[in-house]
Structure 1
Amino acid sequence: MNYVQAADDYLMYLEVEKNYSVNTLKSYAFDLKLYGEFLLTNNRSLDLNDFTSSSVRRFVKDQVINHQIKPRTLQRRISCLKSFSQYCLKENYMKMNFTEGIQAPKADKKLPKYMSLQELKKLFSYLENDSRPQGIRNELMFKLLATTGMRRQELVDLTWEQLDFSSQTIKILGKGKKERLLPLHPTVLPLFLKYQGTLKESQIYYSEPIFYNARNQQLNPRGLHKIFKQVLERAGLPSHRFSLHHLRHTFATLLLQNDKNKVDLRTLQELLGHKSLVTTGMYTHIDFEQKKKAI
Protein backbone atom coordinates (compact mmCIF):
# COMPACT_ATOMS: atom_id res chain seq x y z
CA MET A 1 0.00 0.00 0.00
CA ASN A 2 1.31 3.47 -0.90
CA TYR A 3 1.87 5.88 2.01
CA VAL A 4 0.08 8.84 0.38
CA GLN A 5 -3.10 6.81 -0.27
CA ALA A 6 -3.02 5.27 3.21
CA ALA A 7 -2.57 8.71 4.83
CA ASP A 8 -5.57 10.02 2.87
CA ASP A 9 -7.68 7.05 4.01
CA TYR A 10 -6.54 7.59 7.61
CA LEU A 11 -7.52 11.26 7.62
CA MET A 12 -10.92 10.37 6.17
CA TYR A 13 -11.33 7.81 8.97
CA LEU A 14 -10.50 10.43 11.61
CA GLU A 15 -12.96 12.90 10.11
CA VAL A 16 -15.91 10.59 9.46
CA GLU A 17 -15.66 7.83 12.06
CA LYS A 18 -13.70 9.45 14.90
CA ASN A 19 -15.31 12.89 14.43
CA TYR A 20 -12.05 14.79 15.00
CA SER A 21 -12.09 18.59 14.98
CA VAL A 22 -11.00 20.59 11.93
CA ASN A 23 -7.92 21.89 13.75
CA THR A 24 -6.79 18.40 14.80
CA LEU A 25 -7.28 17.11 11.26
CA LYS A 26 -5.18 19.96 9.87
CA SER A 27 -2.41 19.23 12.39
CA TYR A 28 -2.39 15.49 11.60
CA ALA A 29 -2.46 16.15 7.85
CA PHE A 30 0.54 18.45 8.23
CA ASP A 31 2.45 15.90 10.36
CA LEU A 32 1.83 13.11 7.84
CA LYS A 33 2.87 15.38 4.97
CA LEU A 34 6.12 16.24 6.78
CA TYR A 35 6.98 12.57 7.27
CA GLY A 36 6.22 11.80 3.62
CA GLU A 37 8.45 14.67 2.47
CA PHE A 38 11.23 13.46 4.77
CA LEU A 39 11.07 9.98 3.21
CA LEU A 40 11.21 11.40 -0.34
CA THR A 41 14.07 13.77 0.49
CA ASN A 42 16.09 10.86 1.87
CA ASN A 43 15.26 8.53 -1.04
CA ARG A 44 13.18 6.19 1.11
CA SER A 45 10.41 3.96 -0.21
CA LEU A 46 6.79 5.07 0.22
CA ASP A 47 5.58 1.47 0.31
CA LEU A 48 4.20 0.83 3.81
CA ASN A 49 5.79 -2.62 4.01
CA ASP A 50 9.21 -1.00 3.61
CA PHE A 51 8.71 1.30 6.61
CA THR A 52 10.99 0.76 9.62
CA SER A 53 11.36 2.27 13.07
CA SER A 54 14.83 3.40 12.02
CA SER A 55 13.28 5.85 9.53
CA VAL A 56 11.04 7.27 12.26
CA ARG A 57 14.03 7.79 14.55
CA ARG A 58 15.89 9.57 11.76
CA PHE A 59 12.81 11.73 11.17
CA VAL A 60 12.70 12.65 14.88
CA LYS A 61 16.43 13.46 14.82
CA ASP A 62 15.94 15.64 11.74
CA GLN A 63 13.06 17.51 13.39
CA VAL A 64 15.12 18.26 16.51
CA ILE A 65 18.51 19.07 14.96
CA ASN A 66 17.61 20.71 11.65
CA HIS A 67 14.25 22.29 12.52
CA GLN A 68 14.55 22.89 16.31
CA ILE A 69 11.07 21.44 16.90
CA LYS A 70 9.98 21.69 20.53
CA PRO A 71 9.22 18.51 22.55
CA ARG A 72 5.47 19.21 22.78
CA THR A 73 5.12 19.48 18.98
CA LEU A 74 7.30 16.42 18.53
CA GLN A 75 5.08 14.49 20.93
CA ARG A 76 2.10 15.23 18.69
CA ARG A 77 3.92 14.18 15.52
CA ILE A 78 5.04 10.89 17.03
CA SER A 79 1.54 10.31 18.41
CA CYS A 80 0.15 10.94 14.91
CA LEU A 81 2.52 8.39 13.34
CA LYS A 82 1.77 5.81 16.04
CA SER A 83 -1.97 6.23 15.52
CA PHE A 84 -1.52 6.05 11.73
CA SER A 85 0.54 2.86 12.10
CA GLN A 86 -2.14 1.23 14.25
CA TYR A 87 -4.80 2.17 11.69
CA CYS A 88 -2.76 0.65 8.83
CA LEU A 89 -2.27 -2.59 10.78
CA LYS A 90 -6.00 -2.79 11.50
CA GLU A 91 -6.81 -2.25 7.81
CA ASN A 92 -4.16 -4.80 6.75
CA TYR A 93 -2.29 -2.15 4.74
CA MET A 94 0.99 -3.47 6.17
CA LYS A 95 2.33 -6.29 8.34
CA MET A 96 4.67 -4.57 10.80
CA ASN A 97 4.23 -1.66 13.23
CA PHE A 98 6.94 0.75 12.07
CA THR A 99 6.58 2.93 15.22
CA GLU A 100 7.19 0.10 17.70
CA GLY A 101 9.70 1.15 20.35
CA ILE A 102 9.52 4.84 19.43
CA GLN A 103 9.14 7.06 22.49
CA ALA A 104 8.25 10.71 22.49
CA PRO A 105 10.58 13.11 24.34
CA LYS A 106 9.34 14.43 27.64
CA ALA A 107 8.16 18.02 27.54
CA ASP A 108 8.87 20.44 30.36
CA LYS A 109 5.85 20.78 32.61
CA LYS A 110 5.11 24.46 32.99
CA LEU A 111 2.51 25.99 35.25
CA PRO A 112 -0.27 27.65 33.25
CA LYS A 113 -0.01 31.46 32.99
CA TYR A 114 -3.07 33.38 34.06
CA MET A 115 -4.26 36.88 34.88
CA SER A 116 -4.56 37.95 38.47
CA LEU A 117 -7.95 39.17 39.64
CA GLN A 118 -6.60 42.74 39.59
CA GLU A 119 -5.41 42.37 35.97
CA LEU A 120 -8.75 40.90 34.92
CA LYS A 121 -10.59 43.77 36.60
CA LYS A 122 -8.35 46.23 34.73
CA LEU A 123 -9.23 44.52 31.43
CA PHE A 124 -12.95 44.57 32.26
CA SER A 125 -12.81 48.23 33.29
CA TYR A 126 -11.37 49.18 29.90
CA LEU A 127 -13.92 47.06 28.01
CA GLU A 128 -16.82 48.65 29.90
CA ASN A 129 -15.63 52.15 28.99
CA ASP A 130 -14.67 51.49 25.36
CA SER A 131 -16.92 53.76 23.27
CA ARG A 132 -15.67 52.57 19.87
CA PRO A 133 -18.22 50.96 17.47
CA GLN A 134 -16.89 47.45 18.21
CA GLY A 135 -16.66 48.11 21.96
CA ILE A 136 -19.80 46.21 22.97
CA ARG A 137 -18.79 43.21 20.81
CA ASN A 138 -15.32 43.12 22.41
CA GLU A 139 -16.73 43.44 25.92
CA LEU A 140 -19.11 40.54 25.28
CA MET A 141 -16.45 38.32 23.65
CA PHE A 142 -13.77 38.67 26.30
CA LYS A 143 -16.13 38.57 29.27
CA LEU A 144 -17.68 35.45 27.77
CA LEU A 145 -14.24 33.81 27.45
CA ALA A 146 -13.27 34.81 30.98
CA THR A 147 -16.53 33.62 32.61
CA THR A 148 -16.99 30.34 30.73
CA GLY A 149 -13.44 29.16 30.01
CA MET A 150 -14.37 28.24 26.43
CA ARG A 151 -11.70 27.93 23.74
CA ARG A 152 -11.26 30.67 21.13
CA GLN A 153 -12.35 28.31 18.32
CA GLU A 154 -15.49 27.50 20.31
CA LEU A 155 -16.22 31.22 20.65
CA VAL A 156 -15.89 32.12 16.95
CA ASP A 157 -17.98 29.06 16.01
CA LEU A 158 -20.92 30.19 18.18
CA THR A 159 -24.32 30.63 16.57
CA TRP A 160 -27.44 32.16 18.12
CA GLU A 161 -29.19 28.78 18.39
CA GLN A 162 -26.60 27.70 20.98
CA LEU A 163 -27.92 30.33 23.39
CA ASP A 164 -30.83 29.73 25.75
CA PHE A 165 -31.75 32.97 27.50
CA SER A 166 -34.59 31.37 29.48
CA SER A 167 -32.29 28.86 31.20
CA GLN A 168 -29.29 31.24 31.02
CA THR A 169 -27.07 28.61 29.41
CA ILE A 170 -24.92 28.24 26.32
CA LYS A 171 -24.25 25.00 24.46
CA ILE A 172 -20.64 24.59 23.39
CA LEU A 173 -19.45 22.35 20.56
CA GLY A 174 -15.98 21.32 21.69
CA LYS A 175 -13.21 19.13 20.33
CA GLY A 176 -14.51 16.11 18.46
CA LYS A 177 -17.85 17.97 18.23
CA LYS A 178 -18.63 16.96 21.82
CA GLU A 179 -21.33 19.09 23.41
CA ARG A 180 -21.26 20.61 26.88
CA LEU A 181 -23.69 22.99 28.54
CA LEU A 182 -22.30 25.99 30.40
CA PRO A 183 -24.10 28.47 32.67
CA LEU A 184 -23.95 32.11 31.61
CA HIS A 185 -22.76 34.67 34.13
CA PRO A 186 -25.54 37.17 35.00
CA THR A 187 -23.39 40.11 33.88
CA VAL A 188 -23.06 38.64 30.37
CA LEU A 189 -26.78 38.27 29.66
CA PRO A 190 -27.59 42.00 29.21
CA LEU A 191 -24.48 42.33 27.01
CA PHE A 192 -25.96 39.85 24.55
CA LEU A 193 -29.15 41.90 24.26
CA LYS A 194 -27.18 45.14 23.90
CA TYR A 195 -24.96 43.57 21.25
CA GLN A 196 -27.97 42.29 19.29
CA GLY A 197 -29.07 45.91 18.95
CA THR A 198 -25.92 46.66 16.92
CA LEU A 199 -26.62 43.91 14.35
CA LYS A 200 -28.92 43.62 11.36
CA GLU A 201 -32.04 41.49 11.81
CA SER A 202 -30.65 38.89 9.38
CA GLN A 203 -27.52 38.56 11.53
CA ILE A 204 -29.41 37.37 14.60
CA TYR A 205 -31.17 34.51 12.79
CA TYR A 206 -30.76 31.33 14.87
CA SER A 207 -28.25 29.65 12.53
CA GLU A 208 -26.09 32.78 12.01
CA PRO A 209 -22.70 33.27 13.72
CA ILE A 210 -22.72 35.55 16.74
CA PHE A 211 -19.48 37.42 16.19
CA TYR A 212 -18.43 39.37 13.09
CA ASN A 213 -15.34 41.28 12.07
CA ALA A 214 -15.28 44.89 10.78
CA ARG A 215 -16.12 43.62 7.25
CA ASN A 216 -19.29 41.90 8.52
CA GLN A 217 -17.77 38.45 7.99
CA GLN A 218 -17.67 35.71 10.61
CA LEU A 219 -14.77 36.30 12.97
CA ASN A 220 -11.96 33.71 12.84
CA PRO A 221 -9.47 32.71 15.58
CA ARG A 222 -6.64 34.77 14.09
CA GLY A 223 -8.80 37.90 13.95
CA LEU A 224 -9.95 37.34 17.53
CA HIS A 225 -6.32 37.00 18.66
CA LYS A 226 -5.39 40.28 16.95
CA ILE A 227 -8.32 42.12 18.58
CA PHE A 228 -7.35 40.75 22.01
CA LYS A 229 -3.76 41.99 21.67
CA GLN A 230 -5.03 45.47 20.71
CA VAL A 231 -7.42 45.52 23.66
CA LEU A 232 -4.63 44.52 26.07
CA GLU A 233 -2.47 47.40 24.82
CA ARG A 234 -5.31 49.90 25.19
CA ALA A 235 -6.10 48.57 28.68
CA GLY A 236 -2.49 49.12 29.77
CA LEU A 237 -1.70 45.41 30.10
CA PRO A 238 1.37 43.72 28.55
CA SER A 239 0.17 42.21 25.26
CA HIS A 240 3.30 40.03 24.97
CA ARG A 241 2.54 38.32 28.26
CA PHE A 242 -1.02 37.16 27.68
CA SER A 243 -2.79 35.23 24.94
CA LEU A 244 -6.44 34.26 24.53
CA HIS A 245 -5.72 30.87 26.07
CA HIS A 246 -4.61 32.65 29.22
CA LEU A 247 -8.21 33.80 29.71
CA ARG A 248 -9.13 30.10 29.84
CA HIS A 249 -6.39 29.51 32.40
CA THR A 250 -7.62 32.55 34.34
CA PHE A 251 -11.16 31.19 34.45
CA ALA A 252 -9.96 27.83 35.80
CA THR A 253 -7.53 29.34 38.29
CA LEU A 254 -9.95 31.86 39.78
CA LEU A 255 -12.60 29.16 40.13
CA LEU A 256 -10.26 26.95 42.14
CA GLN A 257 -9.10 29.90 44.24
CA ASN A 258 -12.66 30.70 45.29
CA ASP A 259 -12.93 29.85 48.99
CA LYS A 260 -16.71 30.28 49.23
CA ASN A 261 -17.78 27.84 46.51
CA LYS A 262 -15.26 25.02 46.31
CA VAL A 263 -14.91 23.58 42.79
CA ASP A 264 -13.26 20.17 42.42
CA LEU A 265 -11.16 19.08 39.45
CA ARG A 266 -13.89 16.80 38.10
CA THR A 267 -16.33 19.71 37.83
CA LEU A 268 -13.62 21.86 36.28
CA GLN A 269 -12.91 19.09 33.76
CA GLU A 270 -16.55 19.17 32.63
CA LEU A 271 -16.62 22.98 32.40
CA LEU A 272 -13.43 23.11 30.31
CA GLY A 273 -14.38 20.14 28.13
CA HIS A 274 -11.20 18.20 28.84
CA LYS A 275 -11.23 14.61 27.63
CA SER A 276 -9.00 13.45 30.47
CA LEU A 277 -8.77 14.50 34.11
CA VAL A 278 -4.98 14.35 33.67
CA THR A 279 -5.18 17.48 31.49
CA THR A 280 -7.21 19.30 34.14
CA GLY A 281 -4.56 18.24 36.65
CA MET A 282 -2.34 21.09 35.42
CA TYR A 283 -4.36 23.35 37.69
CA THR A 284 -3.44 21.48 40.88
CA HIS A 285 -0.85 24.21 41.48
CA ILE A 286 -3.81 26.14 42.90
CA ASP A 287 -4.23 23.46 45.56
CA PHE A 288 -0.59 24.06 46.47
CA GLU A 289 -1.29 27.78 46.86
CA GLN A 290 -4.17 26.95 49.19
CA LYS A 291 -1.90 24.71 51.27
CA LYS A 292 0.67 27.49 51.39
CA LYS A 293 -1.99 29.88 52.73
CA ALA A 294 -3.10 27.33 55.33
CA ILE A 295 0.48 26.83 56.57
Structure 2
Amino acid sequence: MNLQELQKLFRYLENDAGRFAIRNHLMFKLLATTGMRRSELVDITWEQLDLFNNTIRIHGKGKKERLLPLHPMIVPLIVDYKNSLPEYLLHPSQPVFINKNGDQLNPRGLHKIFKETLEKAGLPPKRFSLHHLRHTFATLLIQENKENVDLRIVQELLGHESLVTTQVYTHVDFEQKKKAIDSFNIFEAPS
Protein backbone atom coordinates (compact mmCIF):
# COMPACT_ATOMS: atom_id res chain seq x y z
CA MET A 1 0.00 0.00 0.00
CA ASN A 2 1.25 3.44 -0.75
CA LEU A 3 0.64 6.40 1.55
CA GLN A 4 -2.45 7.58 -0.36
CA GLU A 5 -4.05 4.13 -0.17
CA LEU A 6 -3.32 3.89 3.54
CA GLN A 7 -4.83 7.35 4.06
CA LYS A 8 -7.93 6.28 2.10
CA LEU A 9 -8.30 3.26 4.40
CA PHE A 10 -7.87 5.50 7.47
CA ARG A 11 -10.48 7.99 6.20
CA TYR A 12 -12.98 5.16 5.80
CA LEU A 13 -12.22 3.81 9.29
CA GLU A 14 -12.59 7.28 10.83
CA ASN A 15 -16.04 7.76 9.25
CA ASP A 16 -17.44 4.23 9.61
CA ALA A 17 -20.46 4.01 11.91
CA GLY A 18 -21.05 0.24 11.73
CA ARG A 19 -21.51 -2.07 14.71
CA PHE A 20 -17.80 -2.95 14.92
CA ALA A 21 -16.44 0.38 13.65
CA ILE A 22 -14.57 1.26 16.85
CA ARG A 23 -12.93 -2.18 17.04
CA ASN A 24 -11.99 -2.22 13.35
CA HIS A 25 -10.66 1.33 13.47
CA LEU A 26 -8.35 0.38 16.34
CA MET A 27 -7.28 -2.96 14.86
CA PHE A 28 -6.23 -1.69 11.46
CA LYS A 29 -4.58 1.49 12.71
CA LEU A 30 -2.74 -0.57 15.34
CA LEU A 31 -1.45 -2.92 12.64
CA ALA A 32 -0.46 0.00 10.40
CA THR A 33 1.39 1.90 13.16
CA THR A 34 3.21 -1.00 14.83
CA GLY A 35 3.93 -3.45 12.02
CA MET A 36 2.83 -6.38 14.17
CA ARG A 37 1.73 -9.65 12.60
CA ARG A 38 -1.97 -10.53 12.44
CA SER A 39 -1.42 -13.48 14.79
CA GLU A 40 0.21 -11.11 17.30
CA LEU A 41 -2.75 -8.72 17.08
CA VAL A 42 -5.45 -11.33 17.73
CA ASP A 43 -3.45 -12.72 20.68
CA ILE A 44 -3.25 -9.38 22.55
CA THR A 45 -4.78 -9.37 26.02
CA TRP A 46 -5.58 -6.27 28.07
CA GLU A 47 -2.60 -6.88 30.37
CA GLN A 48 -0.24 -6.37 27.40
CA LEU A 49 -1.43 -2.78 26.97
CA ASP A 50 0.15 -0.12 29.16
CA LEU A 51 -1.71 3.15 28.64
CA PHE A 52 0.36 4.88 31.33
CA ASN A 53 3.57 4.39 29.30
CA ASN A 54 1.77 4.11 25.92
CA THR A 55 3.32 0.74 25.10
CA ILE A 56 2.20 -2.71 24.08
CA ARG A 57 4.03 -5.94 24.89
CA ILE A 58 3.95 -8.32 21.93
CA HIS A 59 4.51 -12.06 22.10
CA GLY A 60 6.07 -12.76 18.71
CA LYS A 61 7.40 -15.74 16.84
CA GLY A 62 9.34 -18.23 18.93
CA LYS A 63 7.77 -16.79 22.09
CA LYS A 64 10.02 -13.74 21.76
CA GLU A 65 8.69 -10.68 23.52
CA ARG A 66 9.09 -7.12 22.31
CA LEU A 67 7.88 -3.84 23.67
CA LEU A 68 6.40 -1.46 21.11
CA PRO A 69 5.59 2.20 21.63
CA LEU A 70 2.04 3.17 20.74
CA HIS A 71 1.56 5.96 18.21
CA PRO A 72 -0.19 8.96 19.86
CA MET A 73 -3.24 8.48 17.58
CA ILE A 74 -3.76 4.96 18.95
CA VAL A 75 -4.20 5.73 22.65
CA PRO A 76 -7.58 7.55 22.33
CA LEU A 77 -8.78 4.74 20.05
CA ILE A 78 -7.94 2.18 22.74
CA VAL A 79 -9.78 4.26 25.35
CA ASP A 80 -12.87 4.59 23.09
CA TYR A 81 -12.85 0.87 22.35
CA LYS A 82 -12.39 -0.02 26.01
CA ASN A 83 -15.31 2.25 26.97
CA SER A 84 -17.53 0.50 24.40
CA LEU A 85 -17.08 -2.94 26.00
CA PRO A 86 -18.83 -4.48 29.00
CA GLU A 87 -16.64 -4.67 32.09
CA TYR A 88 -16.35 -8.47 32.10
CA LEU A 89 -14.49 -8.29 28.75
CA LEU A 90 -11.84 -5.98 30.26
CA HIS A 91 -10.25 -8.49 32.63
CA PRO A 92 -6.44 -8.38 32.17
CA SER A 93 -6.35 -11.94 30.75
CA GLN A 94 -9.18 -11.30 28.26
CA PRO A 95 -8.39 -10.92 24.55
CA VAL A 96 -8.63 -7.31 23.40
CA PHE A 97 -10.22 -8.12 20.04
CA ILE A 98 -13.39 -10.17 20.05
CA ASN A 99 -15.75 -11.35 17.33
CA LYS A 100 -19.53 -10.88 17.12
CA ASN A 101 -20.03 -13.85 19.49
CA GLY A 102 -17.78 -12.37 22.18
CA ASP A 103 -15.01 -14.89 21.51
CA GLN A 104 -11.40 -14.11 20.71
CA LEU A 105 -10.99 -13.02 17.11
CA ASN A 106 -8.86 -15.46 15.10
CA PRO A 107 -6.49 -14.64 12.20
CA ARG A 108 -8.96 -15.95 9.59
CA GLY A 109 -11.75 -13.78 10.97
CA LEU A 110 -9.44 -10.76 11.02
CA HIS A 111 -8.54 -11.45 7.38
CA LYS A 112 -12.22 -11.57 6.38
CA ILE A 113 -12.95 -8.30 8.20
CA PHE A 114 -9.97 -6.66 6.51
CA LYS A 115 -11.12 -7.71 3.04
CA GLU A 116 -14.63 -6.38 3.71
CA THR A 117 -13.19 -3.12 5.06
CA LEU A 118 -10.96 -2.66 2.00
CA GLU A 119 -13.96 -3.06 -0.29
CA LYS A 120 -16.04 -0.56 1.70
CA ALA A 121 -13.09 1.87 1.65
CA GLY A 122 -12.94 1.66 -2.15
CA LEU A 123 -9.67 -0.31 -2.22
CA PRO A 124 -9.26 -3.57 -4.16
CA PRO A 125 -9.61 -6.45 -1.66
CA LYS A 126 -7.74 -8.86 -3.94
CA ARG A 127 -4.78 -6.49 -4.17
CA PHE A 128 -4.04 -6.18 -0.43
CA SER A 129 -3.62 -8.53 2.50
CA LEU A 130 -3.07 -7.93 6.19
CA HIS A 131 0.62 -8.57 5.62
CA HIS A 132 0.60 -5.53 3.32
CA LEU A 133 -0.07 -3.36 6.40
CA ARG A 134 3.13 -4.75 7.95
CA HIS A 135 5.07 -4.04 4.74
CA THR A 136 3.49 -0.60 4.44
CA PHE A 137 4.48 0.23 8.02
CA ALA A 138 8.11 -0.73 7.48
CA THR A 139 8.43 0.83 4.04
CA LEU A 140 6.85 4.15 5.00
CA LEU A 141 8.82 4.27 8.24
CA ILE A 142 12.07 4.03 6.29
CA GLN A 143 10.91 6.15 3.36
CA GLU A 144 9.34 9.01 5.34
CA ASN A 145 11.77 9.16 8.28
CA LYS A 146 15.23 8.48 6.88
CA GLU A 147 16.91 10.82 9.36
CA ASN A 148 15.20 9.30 12.44
CA VAL A 149 14.98 5.61 11.64
CA ASP A 150 17.70 3.12 10.87
CA LEU A 151 17.32 -0.49 9.80
CA ARG A 152 18.07 -1.90 13.27
CA ILE A 153 15.13 0.03 14.76
CA VAL A 154 12.82 -1.36 12.06
CA GLN A 155 14.22 -4.84 12.71
CA GLU A 156 13.36 -4.58 16.41
CA LEU A 157 9.91 -3.12 15.76
CA LEU A 158 9.04 -5.95 13.38
CA GLY A 159 10.57 -8.63 15.60
CA HIS A 160 12.87 -9.91 12.85
CA GLU A 161 15.57 -12.34 13.94
CA SER A 162 17.97 -11.19 11.22
CA LEU A 163 18.74 -7.79 9.77
CA VAL A 164 18.83 -9.45 6.33
CA THR A 165 15.07 -10.05 6.62
CA THR A 166 14.52 -6.36 7.35
CA GLN A 167 16.68 -5.21 4.44
CA VAL A 168 13.89 -6.07 2.00
CA TYR A 169 12.31 -2.74 3.00
CA THR A 170 15.25 -0.75 1.63
CA HIS A 171 14.15 -1.63 -1.93
CA VAL A 172 12.16 1.60 -2.09
CA ASP A 173 15.28 3.68 -1.67
CA PHE A 174 17.04 1.61 -4.31
CA GLU A 175 14.17 2.15 -6.75
CA GLN A 176 14.36 5.89 -6.12
CA LYS A 177 18.13 5.80 -6.70
CA LYS A 178 17.65 3.85 -9.93
CA LYS A 179 15.06 6.36 -11.17
CA ALA A 180 17.44 9.22 -10.39
CA ILE A 181 20.30 7.56 -12.30
CA ASP A 182 18.06 6.69 -15.26
CA SER A 183 16.96 10.31 -15.55
CA PHE A 184 20.53 11.60 -15.47
CA ASN A 185 20.99 12.76 -19.07
CA ILE A 186 24.65 13.82 -19.22
CA PHE A 187 25.58 11.14 -21.75
CA GLU A 188 22.96 11.98 -24.35
CA ALA A 189 23.99 14.12 -27.27
CA PRO A 190 22.44 17.61 -27.30
CA SER A 191 19.60 18.03 -29.77
**When the two structures are superposed, what TM-score results if normalisation uses the length of structure 2?**
0.91
C-alpha change, 1:288 and 1:168, in structure 2 (3 Å) is same
Work out whether 1:166 is the aligned partner of 2:166.
no
Q: Which runs of at least 4 in structure 1 moved beyond 6 Å after TM superposition?
A: none
Query: What is the aligned partner in structure 2 of residue 262 from structure 1?
Result: 148
- Return the structure number with greater relative CO, CA threshold 8 A, min gap 6: 2
| Per-residue Cα deviation, 1:185-212 (whole angstroms, up to 9, x for no partner) | 1111000010011111010111110000
| 1:136 partner amino acid | I
Output the CA distance in 2 between the equivalents of 1:250 and 1:291. 19
Which of 63, 71, 74 lines up with 1:177 in the alignment? 63
Query: What is the aligned partner in structure 2 of residue 236 from structure 1?
Result: 122
Secondary structure class of the residue paired with 2:56: strand
Query: What is the aligned partner in structure 1 of residue 164 from structure 2?
Result: 278
Output the CA distance in 2 between the equivalents of 1:136 and 1:181. 24
CA-CA distance at 1:214 after TM superposition: 0.7
Query: What is the aligned partner in structure 2 of residue 188 from structure 1?
Result: 74
RMSD: 1.3
Output the CA distance in 2 between the equivalents of 1:167 and 1:290. 37
| Gaps in structure 1 of 5+ consecutive residues | 1-114
| 1:38-187 matches, cutoff 5 A | 115-187=1-73
| Per-residue Cα deviation, 1:108-139 (whole angstroms, up to 9, x for no partner) | xxxxxxx1100000000000111011000000
| 1:125 partner amino acid | R
| Rg (Cα) greater in structure | 1
Work out whether 1:250 is the aligned partner of 2:136.
yes
Q: Identity percentage over the alignment?
A: 70
Work out whether 1:218 is the aligned partner of 2:124.
no
**When the two structures are superposed, what TM-score results if normalisation uses the length of structure 1?**
0.60
